[in-house]
Amino acid sequence: MVTAYITAPPDAADDLARTLVEERLAACVNRVPCASVYRWEGEVHDDEEVILLAKTTPERYPALEARVVERHPHEVPCVERFDEADVLEPFGAWRAGAVEE
């Protein structure tokens, strides 16, 4: 099982989360507001963002990543993959079924 860690501006996060679920790229996406401090093009930025935790499978991750890059408003979006060593079996089965095409 895989969780994608994505950050997005608040005005793009809801649409991005819904798109991933509607297109069966993620079984669910948790949205968590956050404040991010980061360096971009030599300057330090302090912005409100939303963390998206997208639950998917190893097979669907490449398509999820491509879709995030396509729809994300940032030139270089934050998309990180977390491979999970242990997942509650019923949750893992639900996740796999929810992203099947």
pLDDT at 101 over 90: no
| SS3 state at 33 | strand
Distances (CA, A) of 24 to 38, 39, 45: 31, 33, 33
Between CA 24 and CA 7 the distance in angstroms is 19
CATH no. for residue 38?
3.30.70.120
Residues 6+ apart with CB under 8 A from 74: 8, 9
Structural domain for 92, as ranges = 2-98
Position 100, amino acid: E
Q: Mind listing the pLDDT tens digit for each residue in 53-85?
A: 999 999 999 999 999 999 999 999 999 999 988
28: pLDDT strictly greater than 90: yes
Report how far residue 49's alpha carbon sits from residue 101's, in angstroms, rounded to the nearest whole number.
30
Helix then strand count (H, E) for the chain reads 3, 4
- The count of structural domains within the chain is 1
pTM of model > 0.85 = yes
